[in-house]
Amino acid sequence: MNKMEIIGISIISCIIFMALLSFGIGSIIDFPKSKQYSPPSIQNPLGTDDLGDDILELLIIGSRTSLLVGFLGALFSTIIGTIIGALSGFFRGVLDDVLGVIIDVFLVIPALPLMIVLAAYLSPSFWNIVIVIGLLWWPTTARLVRARAWQLKSAPFIESLLALGASKTYIVFKHVLPNVLGIASARFILSVSHAILIEAGLSFIGLGDPTNPSWGTMLHFAMTRGALLYGAWWTFIPPGLAISITSLAFIILGMGLEQRQKLSTRSMEDII
């Protein structure tokens, strides 16, 4: 394990621990309410928001949604990207031309504005956010996997399988996919960080699911219920930092994995 991976994994474990903790502490309903916008105190270590809810509890409960949306959105986009990339890179020909154009189109159109439009069109809900992230975040993964699949196509073991008469679908699923899994998992980790940021962004501008408390919705209500003017910094600094640190952790881990991926395939890339 390299240094980046260790840093990333330790931060992420803390946050996952936080999300697990949220199941233990139950729902925000079970907590006594305090005055709205109370500053940090012994009773409310991070103060309260406009409904008098404890920010610390919200932060812990919100980690669940933020992480879950992050993971599911990333998973969804990685699966789409990997399959499209592998098929496209391996089969080339018409399929690749078509998929290549689709990938390019998705890469060219600015994803964030499109996500905003899509999220606004679909009603705000947990699954819609996951779907929006999944549908629009796959092209980068697809492009990387496609390049790798293309390289693999001229690797000796694939050539010999072709000479043996193995079917192409067999080769794609049994050999190409397992071989792009490394790069796909590095992309997956990076996508989690993007998905967390996107969820936060969409929730912040009010396109998230307001009934599922997340760090993004905390920011949203801080901004729309006057916390800034009130000077209630404790309502937006903690979720803001939580979002930044979490996505940073996933980026660091993802980069660590990507580096390892590069090292292990150096020989292949150099020769082919």
What residues make contact with other proteins under the rule CB under 8 A? 29, 33, 36, 50-52, 120, 123-124, 155-157, 159-166, 170, 175, 178-179, 181, 190, 193, 197, 206, 209-211, 220-221, 223-226, 228-231, 233, 236-237, 240-241, 243-245, 247-248, 251-252, 255, 264, 267-268, 271
> In the 8-state DSSP scheme, what is residue 208?
S
Of 75, 87, 63, 54, residue with least CA distance to 11: 63
User: How far apart are alpha carbons 161 and 49 in whole angstroms?
Assistant: 63
Q: Give min distance, CB of 75 to other proteins, in A.
A: 20
Q: Tokens representing 45?
A: 């270590």
Q: Judged by CB, which is closer to other proteins: 101, or 127? A: 127
Q: Give min distance, CB of 251 to other proteins, in A.
A: 5
CB neighbours of 201 closer than 8 A, spacing ≥ 6? 112, 216
- Please tell me the total number of residues recorded for the chain in this structure: 272
Torsional sign, CA 241, 247, 250, 254: negative
Asked whether the beta carbons of 87 and 95 are under 8 A apart, the reply is yes
Q: Give min distance, CB of 221 to other proteins, in A.
A: 6
Q: Give min distance, CB of 3 to other proteins, in A.
A: 13
Q: Give min distance, CB of 215 to other proteins, in A.
A: 11
Of 189, 140, 191, 144, residue with least CA distance to 5: 189
Q: Judged by CB, which is closer to other proteins: 1, or 211? A: 211
Asked whether the beta carbons of 129 and 208 are under 8 A apart, the reply is yes
Q: Judged by CB, which is closer to other proteins: 88, or 246? A: 246
Q: Give min distance, CB of 174 to other proteins, in A.
A: 8
Q: Give min distance, CB of 192 to other proteins, in A.
A: 13
Q: Judged by CB, which is closer to other proteins: 92, or 175? A: 175
Q: Judged by CB, which is closer to other proteins: 82, or 179? A: 179
User: Angle CA(257)–CA(3)–CA(78) in degrees, nearest 5?
Assistant: 20
Q: How far is CA 169 from CA 90, 135, 162, 202, in A?
A: 10, 24, 11, 39
Which secondary structure element, helix H or strand E, spans residue 235, and what is its range? none
Q: Judged by CB, which is closer to other proteins: 101, or 159? A: 159
Q: Judged by CB, which is closer to other proteins: 99, or 194? A: 194
